[in-house]
Structures are given as structure tokens and as C-alpha cells.
């Protein structure tokens, strides 16, 4: 995916998540599958990751700084899910929207040439284009889970 496609996805994701404000609480608190997270928990873990991508990935990459290791995925996700379980729906959605908008705004300002420059995380070399394509795929995976769990018509957008 290129910059424009990545940004289009992130903007569409904001519209879709914002639409969840109209959902019944029962749908918001429904698990995406037997023994899995609820919609609230899935959405609730996206905002903290967006914040991580901004502060611990994008900013250091653009400033030529060393990248810190990823936090422990399980603990990070568990803390995010716990927070979402205890928040009202509008707060979880609003936090996602604010953080995702900041991510979109900052990614929009990144020059085209920077999107294909390599950088290293640990022993892996990647580009912003490749890195954020992976994040789009992560979003789409979760959005499809939500769509299937709630038997929503069509694609998630």
C-alpha cells in the first residue's frame, strides 16, 4: 500500500468506529467469538497502539533516533482491554478517534520520499510504507472479526 491508500484506510476506520456510537450496548459488549474479546475490547486496544506508533515509532524514525523494543504484547493488550471493559462506549470511541486523527495528521505531513526509506527495528529492516501496511492489515483483521460476529452486511467500511 502507498501513503494515500494507508491514509484512506485510517480515515475510513475513523468513520466506521465513530458509527459504533449508535450501536446498542449489547453489540458493543458482544464477544467477537467464543472466549474472545468484546467489540469494546478490540476497539479499546487500537488507540493505545496508535499512540505507541506515534511516540515510539514515527517520531523516532523521523528524527533518526534508535527505536525502543516493542512492549510485551500480551500485557499491553490486556491492559488496553481491561481499560475498555471499564469505560463507557463513547469514551473508548472518542479516545480511539482522537489518537487515530493525530496519527493521520502526522502521517499526512511525512514527505513521500520518507515512506520508502529503510529503518531498522531490532534485526528487521522495513519502511514506513511496509510498516503501516501491516497496521492496516491488523485493523482489517479485527474489523472483519467484528463484522462477522455481529453479522453485519458487506465489508467493514
- For residue range 4-21, what is the model confidence (pLDDT) as tens digits? 999 999 999 999 999 999
Is position 109 within any domain?
A: yes
Q: What number of other Cβ atoms are within 10 A of residue 20's Cβ?
A: 18
Confidence class of residue 153 from pLDDT cuts 50, 70 and 90?
A: low
- For residue range 54-63, what is the model confidence (pLDDT) as tens digits? 999 999 999 9
Question: Cell numbers of 150, please?
Answer: 455481529
Give me the DSSP letters along 94-139. HHHHHHHHHHHHHHHTS-GGGGGSEEEETTEEEEHHHHHHHHHHHH
Is the pLDDT reported for residue 154 higher than 70?
no
* Cα diameter, the chain: 46
Range of the domain at 44: 3-150
Which position has the higher pLDDT, 143 or 122? Answer: 143
Half-sphere exposure of 82 (CA within 13 A, CB side): 6
Under the phi-then-psi rule, with left for phi > 0, alpha for psi from -120 to 50, and beta for the rest, what region is 17?
A: alpha
Is position 155 within any domain?
A: no
Mean pLDDT of 71-98: 93
Q: What is the pLDDT of residue 73?
A: 85
pTM: 0.91
Distance of CA 57 to CAs 27, 33, 108, 122, Å? 33, 31, 15, 12
Is position 71 within any domain?
A: yes
Q: Which of 3, 10, 1 is nearest to 109 (CA)?
A: 3
Angle of helix 3-19 versus helix 128-149 axis, rounded to 10? 30
Is position 157 within any domain?
A: no
Is position 125 within any domain?
A: yes
Q: What is the pLDDT of residue 28?
A: 94
Mean pLDDT of the chain: 92
Domain count, the chain: 1
Write the CATH number for 86.
1.20.120.450
Is position 36 within any domain?
A: yes
DSSP symbol at 35: T
Q: What is the pLDDT of residue 157?
A: 47
Is position 65 within any domain?
A: yes
Is position 13 within any domain?
A: yes
Amino acid at each position: 500500500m502507498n501513503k494515500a491508500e494507508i491514509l484512506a484506510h485510517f480515515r475510513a476506520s475513523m468513520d466506521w468506529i465513530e458509527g459504533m456510537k449508535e450501536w446498542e450496548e449489547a453489540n458493543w459488549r458482544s464477544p467477537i467469538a467464543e472466549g474472545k474479546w468484546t467489540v469494546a475490547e478490540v476497539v479499546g486496544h487500537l488507540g493505545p497502539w496508535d499512540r505507541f506508533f506515534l511516540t515510539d515509532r514515527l517520531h523516532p524514525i523521523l528524527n533518526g533516533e534508535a527505536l525502543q523494543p516493542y512492549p510485551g504484547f500480551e500485557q499491553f493488550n490486556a491492559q488496553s482491554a481491561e481499560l475498555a471493559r471499564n469505560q463507557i462506549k463513547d469514551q473508548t470511541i472518542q479516545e480511539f478517534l482522537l489518537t487515530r486523527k493525530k496519527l493521520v495528521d502526522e502521517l499526512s505531513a511525512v514527505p513521500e520520499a520518507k515512506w520508502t526509506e529503510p529503518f531498522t527495528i531490532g534485526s528487521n529492516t522495513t519502511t514506513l510504507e511496509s510498516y503501516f501496511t501491516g497496521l492496516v492489515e491488523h485493523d482489517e483483521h479485527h474489523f472483519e472479526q467484528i463484522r462477522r460476529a455481529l453479522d453485519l452486511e458487506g465489508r467493514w467500511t
